Structure 1
Amino acid sequence: MNSNRVKEHVKSLIYNNKSLYSLYDKGFSYGCSDFSKLKDKFKGERAFIVGNGPSLNKHDLSLLKNEYSFAVNGIFYKTESEGFRPTFYVVEDRHVMLDNVDKINTFEAQYKFFPIDYKNQVKNKKNCWFFRMDKGYYNKTSPYFAIPRFSTDMNDKLYCGQSVTMINLQIAYYLGFSEIYLIGMDHSYQIPSDADVAGEEITSNSDDPNHFHPDYFGKGKKWHDPHLDRVERTYSYFKLVYESQERQVYNATVGGSLEVFDRADYYSLFK
């Protein structure tokens, strides 16, 4: 039986046996961190979740020096150019991990969060925490494909939701933050005409027009179709979760197209 037939056989087993979905979607659990000591550690505080859209260049990140902040993926370009360093650093996407493994390993933050799937790639484990990541959102054979879910318990799992921001929002909730401000969330993408597109996977052949730095997903780097309609649907669900517990998420992005959350003026937050 060749490899393709094996894969199809496994998919068939999973599709026809719903009890296997949970095992397939949830991923690894062995070696995950114990997050108990972080539960509500920052209860009642506010935090900024930093997106990586072009609008991030319109924000003075030095204002976040005395704030709690989450940042992701290629934020190290901002660290190199401006010295900005977040409190919390998060990676979800495997392409980001594999294409930037050296920079990710040398990047310093008080807290670094990764799916347990990447534990072997993380050589410098100082300040690193590893969580179980449920990938059902991305699995087309899963009954939870493209369906938003929210975890309130990091010791159980965190759910994917089309954007690493969703992982950040679940972590922030578990840590106890009650007021979240999103910045750098442009909520718009273009696929360059010279990019190589193979299904959901895109390979860049030129500078990245969708992020604050041209090398973010620059030439030779791989990324996924962002599916902004799914992102917006998940945002809407997460907004309801936060509000049901009298917590709030605001969009403090300068410009951009994200209108799910109430707007806040970034610069007025520091007056």
Structure 2
Amino acid sequence: MSAPFPPWMKRLVSAAVPAGLYSRASALHTALVDRDADPRIRESITRLWSLKNAHRGGRCFIIGNGPSLRTMDLTPLQSEFCFGCNRIYLLFDEKAFQTTYYVCVNPLVLEQFADDIRQISCTKFISTSGMNLVGDDPNTIFISTRRGPGFYRYAPYGLWEGATVTYVAM
């Protein structure tokens, strides 16, 4: 059984789109959340929708993983919502700091450091290309990445990597 069309989207689409296009949008949604899809993808899509507006009104920080972070005091960010990228986890013990979320979509990073990534305890956003590398983990949400450029507003439908993991984190 496919996931229901989210109520907010149903209202938006039905108010702004002619009936024929609405049924096509509904069919697209059903196709994207096909009942025969990998259950990990279906679960990830559901979890992504549940995160919509989870931190509305708050602020968040996207933290890279360059060497300059070793000299930075990350303490002020401990009570903030933070997205860490790629190998940020190397600082977790050293700085007594952990991000709220972890993002990795680079196939090479996923392949080379899958064991390390599995050990991260925060919520992880991992490209579907890494599903078989990081395995089943209740803290992992798999995201589909698209080929075409653009800033996609709804992560459950896929995100363009923009040649950098930071783009996906946004």
TM-score by length of 1: 0.45
1:45-95 Cα distance to aligned partner (Å, 9 max, x none): 111100112222232112211111000111121013122210000111011
Aligned to 1:114: 126
1:235-261 Cα distance to aligned partner (Å, 9 max, x none): xxxxxxxxxxxxxxxxxxxxxxxxxxx
Q: Secondary structure at the match of 2:57?
A: coil
Moved runs in structure 1, 4+ residues, more than 6 A?
none
Q: Distance in 2 between matches of 1:124 and 1:81?
A: 27
Q: Distance in 2 between matches of 1:117 and 1:57?
A: 30
Higher helix fraction: Structure 1 or Structure 2? Answer: 2
Q: Secondary structure at the match of 1:84?
A: coil
Q: Distance in 2 between matches of 1:155 and 1:162?
A: 19
Q: Does 1:94 align with 2:95?
A: no
> Number of paired residues?
129
Kindly indicate whether the alpha-carbon contact (under 8 Å) linking 2:64 and 2:86 is maintained by their aligned counterparts in 1.
Answer: no
Q: Does 1:81 align with 2:82?
A: no
Structure of higher RCO (CA pairs closer than 8 Å, 6+ residues apart): 1
Aligned to 2:65: 52
Kindly indicate whether the alpha-carbon contact (under 8 Å) linking 1:132 and 1:156 is maintained by their aligned counterparts in 2.
Answer: yes
Unaligned runs of 5+ in 2: 1-33
Kindly indicate whether the alpha-carbon contact (under 8 Å) linking 1:51 and 1:72 is maintained by their aligned counterparts in 2.
Answer: yes
Unaligned runs of 5+ in 1: 1-28, 137-143, 170-271
Q: Secondary structure at the match of 1:114?
A: strand
Q: Distance in 2 between matches of 1:118 and 1:99?
A: 11
Aligned to 1:196: none
TM-score by length of 2: 0.71
Give 1:166 deviation, angstroms.
Answer: 0.2
Q: Secondary structure at the match of 1:75?
A: coil
Q: What RMSD over aligned residues (CA atoms) do the two structures have, in Å?
A: 1.6
